[in-house]
């Protein structure tokens, strides 16, 4: 029993998570390579390794001939009968090869083959681990800045947080632990290349899935999400259980759940609103905290006209149009917002304009939570009107 080899294989299997079968294949290939370097060819060389005891034998299959022309592939009848007394011309006999007789260069090449295979398999194992985490959340430790990019230690591999995937307001210190969204995992010759993000909307989605039990078990669904990284996120949620309040579940007792996510996002504001199949209700929710007088939504054209009280126009549009802009992304509608005074003289902002048309109307004075975005029919930013 080859105890040294067994211990080495056990250690590699545990530390590198490389299967024993792969290691056995690497050893077999290394021995064949050594034979090729030693004899010049190894087409007839075979290696057999006992998987239980790790004992191995190396032999060459040679043809018995009367006159030897190639001593690597052929053997004389006289020499063959030393191995097997029943050998005859034309038979194939197994000739043992003593691996200890290999030269230094051949042995070095064999070791290199094993080392290379272990490295390749190690990279493959790491790639598979993180490929399964693609589009998911990981925790990493900030290592150092590489120019404008940041190197992140994920444990078994390093990830790259590029400048375009960084939130401009966030500054990190070495050894700081942060959560990241895995955008893509590429397999390269130098190992897996892992690209991560702090700006992706799904980062917020995964944080909610991790923090909110009801989302994890499917009771509450995240229907839509709109984000301006570092500033504000709007998320629309829906409950599959009438006894569970979707918004309440996400906010948590005294805001504990949403505050934990806000802390992870370094103070980014999060508005959680109720999803509604009725586009008028959904737009009303998305434009919170502004009060809405009327919503006229066209589901086919995906446009909506919204009327708000005069004093609520600035709140509905938001600073630099952010509230309305996020609401548009959240709902998928182009939203045109006007005050009651402006709506009197504008077509499409009064109920009588739609008496013969199939539009969704919403009329309610209720005040909801914050957030939303605005894009008018020409794609202009209406913040000047505010």
The CATH number that domain 281-386 falls under is: 3.30.300.20
- The residue assigned the tokens 């390794």 is 49
Distances in whole angstroms, Cα of residue 169 to Cα of each of 146, 191, 208: 18, 31, 22
Helix (H) or strand (E) holding 158: strand 158-161
The answer to whether 322 touches 359, Cβ cutoff 8 Å, is no
- Three-class DSSP category at 286: helix
Rounded Cα distance, 361 and 366, in Å: 15
Domains 200-275 and 281-386 share a fold: yes
Rounded Cα distance, 304 and 376, in Å: 9
Rounded Cα distance, 274 and 272, in Å: 7
With 0-12 / 13-18 / 19 or more C-beta atoms within 10 angstroms meaning exposed / middle / buried, residue 146 is exposed
- DSSP alpha helices (H): ranges in 84-132? 104-131
Q: Please report, for the chain, the start and end positions of each structural domain, with discontinuous segments joined by +.
A: 3-129, 139-197, 200-275, 281-386
Phi, psi of 34 (to 5 degrees): -65, -40
The CATH number that domain 3-129 falls under is: 3.30.1480.10
For 139-197, which CATH superfamily applies? Nucleic acid-binding proteins (2.40.50.140)
Q: Please choose, from the candidates 261, 235, 266, the residue with its C-alpha nearest in 3D space to the C-alpha of residue 167.
A: 266
For 200-275, which CATH superfamily applies? K homology (KH) domain (3.30.300.20)
Q: What is the pLDDT along the chain (386 residues), one digit of tens a residue?
A: 456 667 777 777 777 777 878 888 887 887 777 777 767 677 778 888 877 777 778 888 888 888 888 877 888 888 888 888 888 888 888 888 776 666 666 667 767 777 787 888 888 888 999 999 999 999 999 999 989 999 999 988 999 999 999 999 999 999 999 999 999 999 888 888 999 999 999 999 999 999 999 999 999 999 999 999 999 999 999 999 999 999 999 999 999 999 999 999 999 999 999 999 999 999 999 998 999 999 999 999 999 999 999 999 999 999 999 999 999 999 999 999 999 999 888 887 777 766 655 555 554 443 333 333 344 434 444 433 33
């Amino acid at each position: 029993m080859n105890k040294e080899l067994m211990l080495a294989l056990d250690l590699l299997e545990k530390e590198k998570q490389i299967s024993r079968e792969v290691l056995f294949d690497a050893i077999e290939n290394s021995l064949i390579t050594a034979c090729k370097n030693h004899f010049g060819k190894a087409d007839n060389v075979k290696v057999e390794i006992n998987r239980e005891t790790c004992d191995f034998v190396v032999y060459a299959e040679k043809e018995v001939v009367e006159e030897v022309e190639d001593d690597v592939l052929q053997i004389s009848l006289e020499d063959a009968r030393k191995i097997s007394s029943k050998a005859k011309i034309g038979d194939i006999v197994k000739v043992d090869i003593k691996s200890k007789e290999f030269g230094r260069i051949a042995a070095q090449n064999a070791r290199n083959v094993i080392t290379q295979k272990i490295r390749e398999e190690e990279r493959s194992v790491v790639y598979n681990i993180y490929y399964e985490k693609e589009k998911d959340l990981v925790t990493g430790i900030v290592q150092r800045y590489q120019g404008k990019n940041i190197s992140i230690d994920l444990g078994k591999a390093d990830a790259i947080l590029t400048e375009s995937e960084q939130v401009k307001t966030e500054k990190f210190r070495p050894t700081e632990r942060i959560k990241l969204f895995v955008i893509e995992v590429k397999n390269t010759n130098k190992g897996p290349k892992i690209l991560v993000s702090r700006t992706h909307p799904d980062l917020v989605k995964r944080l909610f899935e991790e923090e909110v039990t009801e989302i994890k078990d499917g009771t509450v669904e995240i229907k839509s999400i709109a984000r301006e990284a570092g500033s504000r996120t709007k998320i629309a949620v829906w409950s599959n259980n009438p006894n569970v309040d979707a918004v309440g579940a996400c906010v948590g007792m005294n805001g504990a759940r949403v505050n934990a996510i806000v802390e992870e996002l370094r103070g980014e504001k999060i508005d959680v609103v109720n999803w509604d199949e009725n586009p008028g209700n959904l737009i009303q929710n998305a434009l919170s905290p502004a009060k809405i007088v009327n919503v006229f939504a066209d589901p086919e054209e995906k446009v909506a006209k919204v009327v708000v009280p005069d004093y609520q126009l600035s709140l509905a549009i938001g600073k630099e149009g952010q509230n309305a802009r996020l609401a548009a992304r959240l709902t998928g509608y182009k939203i045109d917002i006007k005050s009651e005074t402006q709506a009197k003289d504008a077509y499409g902002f009064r109920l009588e304009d739609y008496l013969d048309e199939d539009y969704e109307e919403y009329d309610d004075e209720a005040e909801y939570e914050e957030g939303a975005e605005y894009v008018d029919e020409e794609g202009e930013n209406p913040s000047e009107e505010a």
